[in-house]
Amino acid sequence: MLRFCRIPPSRIRKLPTFFSATPEETREYTVAGMTCSHCALSVREEVSEIAAVGSVDVDVDSGRLTVSGSGIDDDAVRAAVAEAGYEVV
Ligand SMILES: [Cu+2]
């Protein structure tokens, strides 16, 4: 005897989209040349414009740039930092 699934297709739940989406990640970079809060601000602004980026944190003293988001592209981050006038080392 054939057995059929009794659950109507509309009731079978698909995987929530967050399972298939690129997971959130955090990457750290070191930026050379930043000397004050204005430097940090311009780096933050440029990197924030990258679509994949959710949050940006810049520490002037250590030169550390922390970027969080989904599907972050290193080259895009480098380009954004260069746009601000600094360099990822
Ligand atoms: Cu500055």
Please write the tens of the pLDDT for every residue from 60-88.
999 999 999 999 999 999 999 999 999 99
Residues paired with 58 in a beta bridge? 65
Q: What is the CATH number of the domain that holds 67?
A: 3.30.70.100
CB neighbours of residue 44 within 10 Å:
18
**CB-neighbour burial class of residue 31 (10 A; exposed 0-12, middle 13-18, buried 19+):** buried
Q: Which of 88, 42, 36, 33 is nearest to 65 (CA)?
A: 88
Q: Residue 66 domain-assigned?
A: yes
Q: Residue 16 domain-assigned?
A: no
Q: What is the pLDDT of residue 23?
A: 83
Distance 75 CA to ligand 1 centre (A): 23
Q: Residue 77 domain-assigned?
A: yes
Summarize pLDDT for 36-66 with one digit per residue, the tens.
999 999 999 999 999 999 999 999 999 999 9
Structural domain span for residue 83: 24-88
Q: Residue 2 domain-assigned?
A: no
Distance 58 CA to ligand 1 centre (A): 12
**Number of compact structural domains in the chain:** 1
Q: Residue 78 domain-assigned?
A: yes
Lookup: tokens for 84: 């601000």
| pTM reported for the whole predicted model | 0.75
